[in-house]
A and B are shown apart, each in its own frame.
Chain A
Amino acid sequence: MDDKVILLVEDNPDDEALTLRALKKNNIKNEVVVAHDGIEALDYLFGTGAYAGRDLNHMPQVVLLDLKLPKLDGFEVLRRLRASEPTKFLPVVILTTSNEDQDRIKGYGLGANSFVRKPVEFDRFIEAVRQLGLYWLILNERAPLPRSV
Chain B
Amino acid sequence: MGQLTFRGKLLAALGAALLILVCVAVLSYRRILQEDADQKSVEHTHLVLEKIDSVSSGLVEQENGQRAYPITKDNSFLRSYDAGLANLRQNLADLRKLTSDNPKQQAALDRLDPLVASRLALFKAYRQGIVTQDKQEIDDKQLMDEIRAVFLQMRQEEQNLLSKRLEAAESSSRRSKFIIASGYSLSFLLLALAGLVVQSEITKRIDTEHELKSVQERYHLLFDSNPIPVWVYDLETLAILDVNKEASRHYGYSRDEFLKLKITEIRPPEDVPALLADLSKSFSTEEDSTTWRHTKKSGEIIDVEIKSYPVRFGARDARLVAALDVTERKRAEEAVRQSEERFRLTVSNVKDYAILMLDTEGRVISWNEGAERIKGYRADEIIGQHFSRFYAAEDLKAGKPAAEIKEATENGRVEDEGWRVRKDGARFWANVVMTALRDESGSLRGFGKVTRDISERKRAEQEILQRSAELEAANRELEAFSYSVSHDLRSPLRAIDGFSQALLEDHAAQLDNDGKNYFQRIRAATQRMGELIDDLLGLSRVTRAEIHRERIDLSSLAEEVAADLRNSQPERDVEFRIGQGLQAEGDSRLIRVALQNLIGNSWKFTSKRPDAQIEFGLIRSNGRRAYFVRDNGAGFDQAYADRLFGAFQRLHGMNEFPGTGIGLATVQRIVHRHGGKVWAEGVVDQGATVYFTL
Measuring CB to CB, which residues of chain A are less than 8 angstroms from any residue of chain B?
12, 14-15, 18, 21, 67-68, 96-101, 118-123, 125
Contacts and interface: CB of A to CB of B under 8 A. Distances in A.
13 contacts: A14-B498, A15-B491, A21-B502, A97-B487, A97-B488, A100-B482, A118-B490, A120-B497, A120-B527, A120-B530, A121-B497, A122-B497, A125-B494
B526 A96 contact: no
B493 interface: yes
Closest 8 CB pairs of A and B: A120-B530, A14-B495, A98-B486, A122-B498, A18-B498, A122-B501, A97-B490, A97-B487
B487 A18 contact: no
Chain B binding site: helix, strand, loop or mixed by DSSP? helix
Interface string B202-232: 0000000000000000000000000000000
Contacts of A121: 497, 523, 527, 530
A50 to B, nearest CB: 26
Given A14-B494, A119-B494, A120-B490, 7 more contacts: A12-B491, A14-B491, A18-B499, A21-B498, A98-B486, A120-B526, A120-B527
B537 to A, nearest CB: 8
A99 B490 CA distance: 11
Nearest to A123: B501
B494 A15 contact: yes
B483 interface: yes
B501 A120 contact: no
A77 to B, nearest CB: 17
Contacts of B486: 97-100
A122 B494 contact: yes
Contacts of A12: 491
B275 to A, nearest CB: 92
Contacts of B526: 120
Contacts of A118: 490, 494
Contacts of B495: 14-15, 18
A100 B483 contact: yes
Contacts of A125: 494, 498
Interface centre among B482, B498, B501, B541 (most CB of A within 10 A): B498
Interface in B305-321: none
B235 to A, nearest CB: 102
A101 B495 CA distance: 24
Contacts of B499: 14, 18
A67 B483 CA distance: 12
Nearest to B497: A122
Contact of A98 (B483, B492, B493, B494): B483
A120 B483 contact: no
A97 B537 CA distance: 13
Contacts of B502: 21, 122
Contact of A68 (B487, B500, B523, B527): B487
Q: Which of B488, B493, B494, B499: most chain A CB closer than 10 A? A: B494
A15 B492 CA distance: 9
Contacts of A97: 486-488, 490-491, 494
Given A120-B530, A121-B527, A18 B494 contact: yes
B482 to A, nearest CB: 8
A15 B495 CA distance: 7
